[in-house]
Amino acid sequence: MHEEVIMAGFGGQGIMLIGQMLVYAGMDEGKNVLWMPAYGPETRGGFANCTVIISDSEINSPIISNPSSLIIMNLPSLDKFEGSIKSGGVIVVNRSLVNREVGRADLDVVMIPASEIASELGNIRAANMVALGAYLSRKNIVNLDSVIKILPKMFPGKEKVVPLNVEALKKGADFVRAMGAPVA
């Protein structure tokens, strides 16, 4: 198994957090991992993305030009990365903030209303977790339980937000299962 994923959105949407969570879960499962962040000049509201590679074998380079998956949280990120994903790849799109369909028929597309689902749970900031849960349900590169296990480490001193994030991850996974499409 060798998975290359780019996660992208606005600064403040928790893009770096879900990338780190995926990497930590992969490490806990004994996989080789790499996380490489990229930020725009702004702290919040600017462009943010990260590259995550998880592999059973050695990772030779942090640079990827054609990822196997994308997690897209806003329209500018879809516009920027849609053309780069490998044919047959998985793309999870936050339908709440993207007002167009994915233009490629050769991709496995999950259009999820991540922001709306997070709002229904009580905190729109959990939209990143909804998207991550959907991605993990579609591409079983690490176990969802491994991600849930590391949540308390990701929120030191803020343990009260862990249950919300667990629920958001599960809601994203449930959304994919309810689609009736192939699940990893």
How many folded domains does the chain comprise? 1
The pLDDT of residue 171: 96
Q: Is the pLDDT of residue 59 over 70?
A: yes
Mean pLDDT, rounded, for 22-34: 95
Rounded mean pLDDT of 15-25? 94
78 located within any domain? yes
| Mean pLDDT value across residues 106-122 | 95
Distance CA 153, CA 44 (A): 23
pLDDT of 7 above 80: yes
* pTM summary value: 0.91
Tell whether 105 is covered by a domain. Answer: yes
Strand partners, 93: 72, 111
Question: What residue numbers bound the domain in which 72 lies?
Answer: 2-179
Mean pLDDT of 14-20: 93
Give 41's pLDDT tier (boundaries 50, 70, 90).
low
pLDDT class of 116 with cuts at 50, 70, 90: very high
- Give domain status of residue 184, yes or no: no
pLDDT digits (tens, 9 = 90+) for 73-98: 999 999 999 999 999 999 999 999 99
CATH assignment of the domain containing 157: 3.40.920.10
Asked whether the predicted pLDDT for residue 43 surpasses 90, the reply is no
Torsion of CA 165, 169, 174, 175, to 10 degrees: 100
Q: Does position 22 have pLDDT exceeding 70, yes or no?
A: yes
Q: What is the pLDDT of residue 113?
A: 96
Q: What does the alpha-carbon distance between residue 184 and residue 181 come to, in Å, rounded to a whole number?
A: 10
Distance CA 41, CA 112 (A): 28
Is 68 contained in some domain?
Answer: yes
